[in-house]
Amino acid sequence: MANAKLLMTFPVTAMSHTLAEYRARGGYGALEKVLRQMTPQQVVTEVTASGIQGRGGAAFPMGRKWGVVHPNDGQPHYLCANADEGEPGTFKDRWILEFAPHLLLESMLIASYALQVRNAFVYIRGEFDGPYRRLAGALEEAYEAGYLGEHVLGTDFACDLVIYRGAGSYVCGEASALITSIEGKRGYPRNRPPRLTVRGLYQKPTVINNVETLSNIAWIINNGGEAFKKVGHPKDPGTRLISISGHVARPGVYEIEIGHPFAKFIFDDCGGVLGGRALKGVIPGGISTKVLTGKEIEPLTLDNPSLASAGSSMGSGGMIVIAEGTCMVRLLQVLLRFYHHESCGQCTPCREGMGWLHRIIDRIVAGEGRPEDIERLYQISKWNDGTTICGMGDAAGYATSGILNKFRDEFEYWIEHKRSRFDGTLECPRSS
């Protein structure tokens, strides 16, 4: 299968992120084409034709999201790039921010033109100091070169962009919480209806897209939506940046064509499991996706339909590899502590449920687990499924029930014997 590259198309050097190098690679050509030859509606049509789905975790078709925004409705429209990248195991948007910031900016300008956005934002997590400086540098270059401001490339299209820094909150990666954070408040997610594309930032139509999703726009404009559809999987077109980490020999960010064989990716492309150990399991797309065993991934391909058939998802593209001998009880403990810490506290099932899950797993690890604890963990997960204001409650539930489904025996063991079946640490030595 041809391994197309749409984003990682250049060698990363000390200067490859600069405007000069980006332009030398053909950068801002798509923006020129759009401003000189296309109407906003034509841009929306092209993006819709590409079939591209969101790469932040929810996989919502970008064209469908854009289509809700009514042109010429007399209201300001806003565009926000979601650069909050807080899903544990995920670090692929960071690659774009550090090494291809102009790709993001150009794509956002095209999107702003299409959606009649005068003011665009990049919401970048507060901890990303290095990536922020890269992006801010690129922004300054872009302004100086006339790609932003009152007359973009000398046309009537006006667009300004602000980089908005977060301040340490995972839930601000959720679209409605992100918007509320840009409004200068706590990152509290909002109930829907109304959809954010109807009432978002300061109650105006707002489109939020993931950094990677947006960054594909330049290619789509240069090559066409139909061409994009031919890459990857018919139901999930394009490529994905996968950030792989954990017990893997060659961790890092890789671009794969969607539909790439799962096992091949781990064992060939990424060097297999650390220390030559057997593969115990993989969390495919960030901790909120259900874990798959080493056996289960064998027939699977890296696309949403295939992973859905196995009860999981591509999620945020944050792949975590787990070697044989790792204690899944301790692993779940890390995850539940995280969810507890990050719950915004608004709605009852998540606020109370996250703390409850965390206290139960802590009690199990402390040797005070009870047989009914496993059912209790399932029950709390179910109570958070589809009933919360945002997806975080659901996510914790998927992580919990996913691990329990595949590794229940380890929990039963710990409850009965008051200790891990293994050595209880999570670390795997780098060399055998």
Smallest distance from the beta carbon of 168 to another protein, in angstroms? Answer: 3
Q: What spatial distance separates the first Cα and last Cα of the chain, rounded to whole Å?
A: 33
Would you state the structure tokens that stand for residue 343, as one six-digit string? 């719950």
- Give me the phi and psi of 233, to 5 degrees please: -110, 140
Smallest distance from the beta carbon of 86 to another protein, in angstroms? Answer: 6
Smallest distance from the beta carbon of 403 to another protein, in angstroms? Answer: 11
Indicate the DSSP class of residue 61: B
Smallest distance from the beta carbon of 224 to another protein, in angstroms? Answer: 32
- How far apart are the C-alpha atoms of 85 and 237, rounded to whole Å? 22
- Provide the mask over 400-429, with x wherever binding to another protein is found by CB under 8 A and - wherever it is not: -------------------------xxxx-
- Give me the phi and psi of 146, to 5 degrees please: 85, 15
Residue count, binding to another protein (CB under 8 A): 86
Q: Does 367 bind another protein (CB under 8 A)?
A: no
Q: Does 126 bind another protein (CB under 8 A)?
A: yes
For another protein, give the closer residue by CB, 16 or 348.
Answer: 348
* Residues 10-69 contacting another protein, CB under 8 A: none
Smallest distance from the beta carbon of 363 to another protein, in angstroms? Answer: 7
Q: Which stretch binds another protein (CB under 8 A): 38-46, 218-226, 348-356, 413-421?
A: 348-356
Q: Does 271 bind another protein (CB under 8 A)?
A: no
353, 391, 397, 402: residue in contact with another protein (rule CB under 8 A): 353
Smallest distance from the beta carbon of 353 to another protein, in angstroms? Answer: 6
| CA atoms 359, 360, 365, 368: torsion sign | positive
Q: Does 346 bind another protein (CB under 8 A)?
A: yes
Residue 239 CA from chain centroid, whole number = 14
Q: Does 221 bind another protein (CB under 8 A)?
A: no
- How far apart are the C-alpha atoms of 241 and 92, rounded to whole Å? 6
- Provide the mask over 201-220, with x wherever binding to another protein is found by CB under 8 A and - wherever it is not: -x------------------
Closest CA to 313 of 8, 100, 59: 59
Tell me whether strands 301-302 and 260-261 are parallel, antiparallel or unpaired. antiparallel
27, 51, 86, 317: residue in contact with another protein (rule CB under 8 A): 86
- How far apart are the C-alpha atoms of 31 and 21, rounded to whole Å? 16
Whether the bond between 194 and the residue before it is cis, its omega within 30 degrees of 0, is: yes
For another protein, give the closer residue by CB, 22 or 128.
Answer: 128
Q: Which stretch binds another protein (CB under 8 A): 15-23, 180-188, 219-227, 261-269?
A: 180-188
- What DSSP line would sit under 388-402, residue for residue? SSSTHHHHHHHHHHH
Q: At what angle do helices 392-417 and 328-342 cross, to 10 degrees?
A: 140
61, 51 in Cβ contact below 8 A?
Answer: yes
Q: Does 325 bind another protein (CB under 8 A)?
A: no
